[in-house]
Structure 1
Amino acid sequence: MTAPQRIGPYAIERLLGVGSFATVWLGYDAVLDARVAIKVLAENWSHDLRVRERFLDEARLLRRLEHERLVRVHTVGELPDGRPYAVLAWADRGSLRDRLADGEIPAPTALRLLGEVCAGVAVLHRHGIVHRDLTPGNVLFRSAGPDDPDAEQVLIADLGLAKALAAASGLTARAGTPGYMAPEQDDPGAVLDTRADVYGLGRLGVRLLGADPTDAQPSRPGQPPDLRLREDVPPAVAAVLARATAYHPADRYLDAAALRAALTRACDPAERPVTVKRAGSSKGPVAAAGSGRRGPPARRPRRPLLTGVAVVVAVAVGQVAAEPGGTGSARSGGDMYTTGPLTVALPPGWSAMGATWAGQYGVDGEPEPALVMSPRPRRWAADPQLPGAFVGLSAATAARTTPAGFLAERTHGDCAPAPARTTRQAGVEWTVVLHVCGRGRPRIVESAGLHPDGPALVYVQIAPPAGSGPEFVDTLLAGVRVSGPPR
């Protein structure tokens, strides 16, 4: 491959890497006297609009998030032949793949590194994004600065396969790297959520800490992962990685933050063994992930407020998602449904499922409550023909923005928003924005208001039935209730 002399204003020094969809060059910015990484879409994919859009999505995501744990984007451009390129911060200390090729990483260092990777992925999860391709090659290192030459930053890279949870459904293409890819990514009809990344992080942990990482087989249905870790790894870590790499998503940690917390507990010698009882089970207690006992990993107890049946729902429009709620108190009665603090009046023929709101966290670090309702709520995320609604409650959001400001963040790339309107329903002043879309769901209604009894934002995203008008939206909003002051 012949290196170009220049890409835009940057002089090209050498090739950094070649992937399936892009080539990365080391460039020099003479104005700033700095080196940059320039990622160029591969020529054989330049006319595939889907791949081109995915390439640009990565730059948009990184630019929007702009976080120290993620590779930074400086700008984007286009070559004379029309191929797009992205100018990124250069990870001058290579990748985790490079370091693993050099030999085994000591267990204390590997554990700290795994925790840093979890923290980086947690940034994505807090913004409702699933990476879907967590591999050693996508973990990079960059010098932290001249004040401490030995310090470095751990960066998450290559978000080309990442999707907003809203779009990471059966409508997306299968993508990922064998050995690190969650089993459900093989199912074209699966709805992916943050637990797909938990699986990838668990497999990274096995690669870093396994006694024989090349012999560690992925999970299989009905069989707990058989993990053999090195002797210098705390015994409780095996239980954490076993739970992270469980075959079924419902048996894994909720997200990267929960996995990181479990690893911290497992590595703390002062941590006491604890036991929990599986919800809905008559069996006795089982060892919790941080207890040091081997055996089936236990679910983390949920706070009492977040209750509902176990459900995996990704809202198919907008950048939000629902995760499994707890068990026990969600109930439906006639045309009403209650889960935790949320109660809704169901339109005729609709049902609902309780959940929690992935990417939205309270002051205690737990996901905030939500529910999904539709004629077929389990299918609503993946079927654009189904009407339905997502209802979420967030005190954390109310503390940082207004309902109108929150809705301004809920953009839909293929949709044209109408001017916002307001309506007062059931004591809540709602801001409502209708989006008319060119593909997928023809109409999306975004609405938000403040809980009248406390500092919490109520968010309702609606895909209304065909032929319905504003009256349907207002009636649905009038049926949303919040019980008690928000926590």
Structure 2
Amino acid sequence: MTAPLRIGPYAIERLLGVGSFATVWLGHDETLDAYVAIKVLAENWSHDLRVRERFLDEARLLRRLEHERLIRVHTVGELPDGRPYAVLAWADGGSLRDRLAAGEIPASTALRVLGEVCAGVAVLHRHGVVHRDLTPGNVLFRSAGPDDPDAERVLIADLGLAKALAAASGLTARAGTPGYMAPEQDDPGAVVDTRADVYGLGRLGIRLLAADPVGAVPAGPDPGRHALDIRLREGVPPAVAAVLGRATAYHRADRYPDASALHDALVRAGAPAQRVFATSGRRRYRSRLVGAVVATVVAVGGVGAEPGGAGSGRPAVDTYTSGPLTVVLPEGWSATGATWAGQYGADGEPEPALIMSPRPRRWAADPRLPGAFVGLSAATAARTTPAGFLAERTHGDCLPAPVRNTRRAGVEWTVVTYRCDRGRPWIVEAAGLQPGHAALVYVQIVPPEQAAAEFVDTLLAGVRVG
């Protein structure tokens, strides 16, 4: 293959890799003295409109998500022959495939890398995207920067097969990489959701952590009824085997619901030896924690005034009612009625919710604001417990404190507090069943920075269902 001299404004240095659908070149921006990776659609696919659109979809998706755990796209262009190309950030540390080919990665490092990959995939899942092709070649490393030359970021790449969850079923072609592809991905008509990625992450974990990755096969003749026989490398906590076994369950209903849940299971399993993300000082695979995403809601009116108070732990002087929900407002807070996006009752209508904050209409978008989301769901109460619901709503980029229970105003609340290094420093998740009501009450709280220790329990005590 002859290297082009230039692609757009970039001088081409060398070939980085060749895939089924694209070729990747190392380019140099002479004006900025910076290197980039330039991904060019393969010539034999240039006239296939479906493949061409998928190539561009990847660039659009990466541009839309724009997250430090995902490979970054700078721009797109077109060659004189009409083939599109995408200019990406250069992962100067190579891929996980390269490192595995060079030799065995220390067990503790491999466990940390797996945790980082889970966190990156969790970003996709929070945005309603399933990757569908998680392999060592799609895990890249990039230097963190001159301020910390010994640190690296782990990046998720190659979203060419990625799909929005709503469109990830009914595919017309087999999609994925054998060995990492979930069983349902081999069925063109199957529903493919976040649990397909959980399977890929589990297989990636087996490759990193098993003593015999090739030998990790179903223990019986029927893969649908037998778990994988996973023997771990020396230095890997024994409980990790069960986590990887569940992640790679043949039936998707038996797996973790998403990458965040798998990450939290790895944290718990690895706790005797280390926390997957608990790092300090300069470390080659140092974690990069980011703030978690606040609950998604849709405002439907009933907006109150928005005073500029900062909030406190003192009892409120007012209440707010939205449908069946009534809350006691902390001082300086107001509220707005909302619906709980993604939660629907038996009648097909969105279930009720409200937001309260010093500025409730800005709370979800402004990490500096304290506030709370309160939602009520009969459908959720019918399918799971408060503790089970909170286990589904983990924050993959944050560290959870142990689950606690507290009884407030006749309600037994299950409470989990998350510590995040970026964005909102603390996020509290709470759920309970209101006496006399067949509905689960969910509260997500971002406390004020200087809130008293009892702020959360005081707020929970003020939640009522009429």
Please tell me the TM-score bracket, short chain as reference.
Answer: 0.5 to 0.7
- The one-letter amino acid paired with 1:370 is Q
Q: TM-score, normalised by structure 1?
A: 0.59
| Equivalent in the alignment of 1:26 | 26
- The one-letter amino acid paired with 1:211 is A
Deviation at 1:221, TM superposition (A): 1.2
What is the alpha-carbon distance in structure 2 between the residues aligned to residue 395 and residue 34 of structure 1? Answer: 48
Q: Describe the SS at the equivalent of 1:159.
A: coil
Q: Is the 8 A contact 1:54 1:160 kept in 2?
A: yes
For structure 1, which runs of at least 5 residues remain unmatched after alignment? Answer: 272-341, 344-366, 375-388, 407-453, 459-481
- The one-letter amino acid paired with 1:57 is D
What is the alpha-carbon distance in structure 2 between the residues aligned to residue 78 and residue 29 of structure 1? Answer: 17
Q: Describe the SS at the equivalent of 1:161.
A: coil
User: CA-to-partner distance for each residue in 1:11-30, whole Å, 9 max, x for gaps?
Assistant: 00000000000000000001
Deviation at 1:174, TM superposition (A): 2.1
Q: For the structure 1 residues 390 and 484, does the alpha-carbon distance in structure 2 shift closer, same or farther, using more than 3 Å as the test?
A: closer
Deviation at 1:184, TM superposition (A): 0.6
Q: Is the 8 A contact 1:57 1:160 kept in 2?
A: yes
Indicate yes or no: 2:243 matched with 1:260. Answer: no
What is the alpha-carbon distance in structure 1 between the residues aligned to residue 36 and residue 356 of structure 2? Answer: 36
What is the alpha-carbon distance in structure 2 between the residues aligned to residue 224 and residue 179 of structure 1? Answer: 16
Q: Describe the SS at the equivalent of 2:260.
A: helix
| Equivalent in the alignment of 2:316 | none
RMSD of aligned alpha carbons? 3.4
For structure 2, which runs of at least 5 residues remain unmatched after alignment? Answer: 275-322, 325-339, 366-371, 377-437, 444-466
| Equivalent in the alignment of 2:130 | 130
- The one-letter amino acid paired with 1:240 is V
| Equivalent in the alignment of 1:370 | 343
| Equivalent in the alignment of 1:471 | none
What is the alpha-carbon distance in structure 2 between the residues aligned to residue 250 and residue 2 of structure 1? Answer: 48
The aligned length equals 312
User: CA-to-partner distance for each residue in 1:92-140, whole Å, 9 max, x for gaps?
Assistant: 0100000000111111000000000000000000000000000000000
Q: Percent identity?
A: 76
What is the alpha-carbon distance in structure 2 between the residues aligned to residue 64 and residue 91 of structure 1? Answer: 19
What is the alpha-carbon distance in structure 1 between the residues aligned to residue 351 and residue 71 of structure 2? Answer: 31
Q: For the structure 1 residues 390 and 61, does the alpha-carbon distance in structure 2 shift closer, same or farther, using more than 3 Å as the test?
A: farther
Q: Give the alignment of 1:100-249 within 5 angstroms.
A: 100-217=100-217, 220-249=223-252
Q: For the structure 1 residues 210 and 59, does the alpha-carbon distance in structure 2 shift closer, same or farther, using more than 3 Å as the test?
A: same
What is the alpha-carbon distance in structure 2 between the residues aligned to residue 397 and residue 168 of structure 1? Answer: 35
Deviation at 1:65, TM superposition (A): 0.5
Q: Is the 8 A contact 1:40 1:83 kept in 2?
A: yes
| Equivalent in the alignment of 2:97 | 97
Q: Is the 8 A contact 1:95 1:138 kept in 2?
A: yes
Runs of 4+ in 1 over 6 A off after TM superposition: 392-403, 482-485
Deviation at 1:216, TM superposition (A): 2.2
What is the alpha-carbon distance in structure 1 between the residues aligned to residue 134 and residue 356 of structure 2? Answer: 29
Deviation at 1:229, TM superposition (A): 1.1
Q: For the structure 1 residues 371 and 15, does the alpha-carbon distance in structure 2 shift closer, same or farther, using more than 3 Å as the test?
A: same
Q: Describe the SS at the equivalent of 1:12.
A: strand
Q: For the structure 1 residues 107 and 3, does the alpha-carbon distance in structure 2 shift closer, same or farther, using more than 3 Å as the test?
A: same
Q: Is the 8 A contact 1:398 1:456 kept in 2?
A: no
What is the alpha-carbon distance in structure 2 between the residues aligned to residue 399 and residue 218 of structure 1? Answer: 54
Deviation at 1:215, TM superposition (A): 2.4
Q: Describe the SS at the equivalent of 2:166.
A: coil
| Equivalent in the alignment of 1:377 | none
What is the alpha-carbon distance in structure 2 between the residues aligned to residue 400 and residue 244 of structure 1? Answer: 41
